[in-house]
């Protein structure tokens, strides 16, 4: 494997939009593997509570089942505590010292990337890939932070929207793979947002 990509997030739950973005990145960048990296506790969501890691990983496994180009990297779950990207890419770079490594993030996160822990170190270790999220146009390119912009199509779906729909008894059909919808119902996830 020569071209790898890290795709971080809470994935609470993983949805069709996540999969479309990952597949678009895989195809456009000719990636050998996209690693979904579920956060244990994201630094930008300190006040909100995430679903148990075991459930988020189980849903990710259901989401990527059958796609040999997708995998799960549970470094942040194993590390526990607040999940900082710089620590994850540092560890991943040790595992794959000679590979080209990309880090996939949405324009909402990219626009605040300068506030992350050690952003300069992150861009020394990986190449940023940005997909545009509706309502968050990409910031103008800066000399100190180059990135590759992913081309669409992207779907305007959010995990927050899905959790709210479940709590309100609304359908999430076609927003998540069927197996994830069944898992959410079986485990009674998101009944209270």
Averaged pLDDT for residues 168-189: 97
Closest CA to 178 of 186, 148, 2: 186
29 phi and psi, to 5 degrees?
-100, 0
Enumerate the domain spans of the chain. Answer: 3-154
CATH of 3-154, one of 1.10.1060.10, 3.40.720.10, 3.40.50.620, 3.40.50.1820: 3.40.50.620
Task: Determine the Cα–Cα distance for residues 154 and 4; give it in Å rounded to an integer.
Answer: 21
**How much is the pTM?**
0.93
Cβ count within 10 A of residue 13:
27
Closest CA to 34 of 45, 16, 20, 50: 20
pLDDT in tens, 56-92: 999 999 999 999 999 999 999 999 988 999 999 999 9
Q: What's residue 142's pLDDT?
A: 64
More confident residue, 111 or 126: 126
pLDDT in tens, 129-174: 999 887 777 766 666 778 899 987 778 899 999 999 999 999 999 9
pLDDT in tens, 23-67: 999 999 999 999 999 999 888 765 568 899 999 999 999 999 999
Q: What's residue 193's pLDDT?
A: 54
Find out whether 117 and 82 touch, Cβ atoms under 8 Å: no
């Amino acid at each position: 494997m020569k071209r790898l990509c890290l795709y971080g997030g809470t994935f609470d739950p993983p949805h069709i939009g996540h999969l479309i973005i990952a597949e678009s990145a895989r195809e456009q960048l000719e990636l050998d593997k996209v690693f979904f990296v579920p956060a244990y506790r994201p630094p930008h969501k300190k006040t909100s509570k995430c679903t148990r890691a075991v459930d988020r990983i189980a849903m990710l496994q259901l989401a990527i089942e059958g796609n040999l180009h997708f995998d799960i990297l549970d470094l942040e779950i194993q590390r526990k505590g607040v999940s900082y990207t710089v620590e994850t890419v540092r560890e991943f770079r040790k595992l794959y010292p000679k590979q080209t490594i990309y880090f996939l993030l949405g324009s909402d996160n990219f626009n605040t990337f300068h506030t992350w822990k050690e952003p300069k170190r992150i861009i020394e270790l990986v190449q940023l890939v940005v997909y545009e999220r509706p309502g968050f146009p990409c910031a103008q390119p800066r000399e100190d932070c180059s990135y590759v912009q992913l081309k669409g199509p992207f779907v305007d779906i959010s995990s927050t929207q899905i959790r709210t729909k479940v709590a309100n008894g609304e359908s999430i059909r076609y927003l998540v793979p069927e197996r994830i919808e069944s898992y959410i119902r079986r485990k009674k996830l998101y009944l209270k947002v």
